[in-house]
Structures are given as structure tokens and as C-alpha cells.
């Protein structure tokens, strides 16, 4: 499997990067952690992977911005329930957007939206934030967020490979899972706080 992956990168690297960009549009954070482990294993180079992941994520965010810009409310009424975006959430975010639009976009990226990521992107289009401003703060947040996730994958993989016994690896894996649950719980807590503050 390792040899196949290496050969794929050597012989078809542009195809691989194109695939990464497409999948990063859908699920960039998980890919970033996965590629952090591959970078540590020296199977891929940091900079082209970093660029592909950022480009894919920003491209996906751009699509959602224009969904909000051109068909925001009709899209929400018809498809919002399938992507957890409702008119009430958009209204709450819109109220705050007019006062803190730049910081909301930036913080939404570096915190993965506290559960409001998609509604934030669509709302940015609905309230017609200038695209140049939107993409600048979006890219800035994505630059930091993707880098952080790659570092998480890199150092977790490094620690994992340095532990020789299975018990130690299981303990490390358990700790990593617990930290993930803590992060998810904390983001839900902050999401609820944001929802309460915008009522």
C-alpha cells in the first residue's frame, strides 16, 4: 500500500493534488490531520499538501458564499434541514454580522465555526459581505487552522511511532480520543453560548 501511494505521487502527483483539493472542499479538517501523519512518515511533502488543503477548503467556502449570495433564502427553505441551516440561525448570525463581520469570518475558520461554520459561510453571502473582504479573512483563518491540524496529525503520529509497546500506543490513542471528545464538547458549549447571546 505504501509503495502504491508513493508511486501514485511520483507518477501522477498533479492528479493526486487535484483529488485532495476536491475532497478538501468536503472535509478539509479530517484530511489535514491525516496528511499530517503522512508528512511525518515522509510519504508526502509539506508545502504542496498544505497549499492543496487550503485551496480546497477555501474553494468550498467560496461555493457556499455564492450559494448564500444568489439563492440564500430559497436554498435554506428547501435544503436547509439537510445541512443543519435554518432561517432562525441565519437571522441570529446576520444580527451579529453587521457589527463584527470580519472577526466572525476569521474566528469561524480557526474554530471550525463552533458548529456554525456552514451557516456563517452562507450568511456572509446573504448579507452581501464584499467578496474580497470575505475571502481575505477566510483565507487568513484557513491558513492558521489547516496548519494547526497538520501539526496535530504530525505530532500525534510521531508520538505514536516512538512508543514501542501496544499498551503505550493504546493509552496514547485513548488520550487522543478523549481530547477529541473534550474539544467537541467545548465547541458545543461555546455554540450554545453564542446562540444565547444572539437571542
Q: Decide: pTM greater than 0.75.
A: no
Give the residue extent of every domain in the chain: 2-197
Q: Which residue has the cell 504530525?
A: 154
DSSP summary character for residue 111: T
pLDDT at 194 over 70: no
Higher confidence at residue 111 or residue 48? 48
- Return the pLDDT at 70: 92
Q: How large is the average pLDDT for residues 20-44?
A: 83
Extract the C-alpha cell encoding 156: 500525534
Q: Dihedral of CA 121/125/130/131: which sign?
A: positive
Residue 130 near residue 73 (C-beta atoms within 8 A): no
Q: 63 falls in which pLDDT band (50, 70, 90)? A: very high
pLDDT at 94 over 90: no
Amino acid at each position: 500500500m505504501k509503495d502504491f501511494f508513493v508511486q501514485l505521487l511520483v507518477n501522477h502527483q498533479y492528479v493526486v493534488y487535484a483529488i485532495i483539493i476536491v475532497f478538501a472542499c468536503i472535509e478539509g479538517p479530517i484530511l489535514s490531520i491525516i496528511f499530517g501523519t503522512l508528512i511525518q512518515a515522509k510519504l508526502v511533502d509539506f508545502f504542496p499538501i498544505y497549499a492543496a488543503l487550503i485551496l480546497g477548503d477555501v474553494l468550498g467556502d467560496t461555493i457556499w458564499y455564492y450559494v448564500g449570495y444568489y439563492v440564500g433564502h430559497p436554498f435554506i427553505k428547501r435544503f436547509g434541514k439537510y445541512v443543519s441551516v435554518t432561517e432562525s440561525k441565519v437571522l441570529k448570525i446576520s444580527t451579529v454580522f453587521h457589527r463584527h463581520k470580519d472577526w466572525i469570518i476569521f474566528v469561524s475558520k480557526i474554530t471550525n465555526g463552533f458548529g456554525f461554520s456552514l451557516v456563517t459561510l452562507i450568511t456572509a453571502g446573504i448579507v452581501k459581505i464584499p467578496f474580497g473582504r470575505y475571502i481575505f479573512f477566510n483565507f487568513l483563518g484557513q491558513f492558521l487552522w489547516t496548519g494547526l491540524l497538520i501539526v496535530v496529525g504530525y505530532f500525534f503520529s510521531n508520538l505514536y511511532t516512538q512508543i514501542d509497546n501496544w499498551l503505550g500506543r493504546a493509552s496514547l490513542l485513548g488520550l487522543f480520543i478523549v481530547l477529541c471528545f473534550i474539544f467537541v464538547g467545548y465547541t458545543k458549549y461555546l455554540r450554545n453560548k453564542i446562540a444565547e447571546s444572539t437571542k
